Amino acid sequence: MTSQALHQRFSKEKNYQPFFVIPFSSQRKYSAVSFCDFGTIYLGASQFIFSKLDQKIKDKIQFYTSKGYRVLCIGYTPTIINENRRVNDLKCIGFLILSDIIRKDAKETLDYFRKQDVQIKIISGDDPSTVSAIARRCHLLDYEKYIDVSSLSDEEIKEAVEKYTIFGRVSPQQKKNNDNNPSRKQPYCGYDR
């Protein structure tokens, strides 16, 4: 979805020849491309591409995510890479602010499941505050109960399931573990991107 949105908005320029490319991965949550005589551009979630970030930039990211926007950061380094790795001297040079389109029937769908006594949990790879803001617009109950699971252990995730409605920064492996969990007792309905 993100790549489609970027292709629709931005035209392709052929000014630089890529030297090395790190394709986007939902596990990594970033992509990168190195160009000879220019450097490397990273695109992804701030917490996954920057080792440190200025507080003003963090505040701006938080402002947009709290409004339900997805924020992709653009990082630059003059370093040319030739392997799949992050660099430490990455500087934030911009943001891409993306808005998700909410289906017209989202509120009605959530209302239906609520009337059927289905406990709704949202599992997403996106920033949990972004997902929470979108869930609020859909009138999901307990939208404010969200957690970033990127640094939680499997045991901590099991404990969090009882307390939270929205699980953000979920890796593909964590989603797979959830799918294979035979101890899950309640029905599940999730928004999963």
- What does the pLDDT profile of the chain (193 residues) look like in tens digits? 677 777 777 777 767 789 999 998 888 889 999 999 899 999 999 989 998 899 999 999 999 999 999 999 999 999 999 988 888 889 999 999 998 888 899 989 999 999 999 999 999 989 999 999 999 999 899 999 999 998 898 899 889 999 999 999 998 887 777 555 544 444 333 434 4
| Cα three-residue angle 22-134-148, rounded to 5 degrees | 55
pLDDT at 151: 84
pLDDT at 178: 59
Backbone angles phi, psi at 158, to 5 degrees: -60, -40
Backbone angles phi, psi at 175, to 5 degrees: -65, -40
pTM of the model: 0.76
pLDDT at 54: 92
pLDDT at 185: 44
* Cβ-contact 165, 143 below 8 angstroms: yes
d(CA 184, CA 182): 6
pLDDT at 187: 39
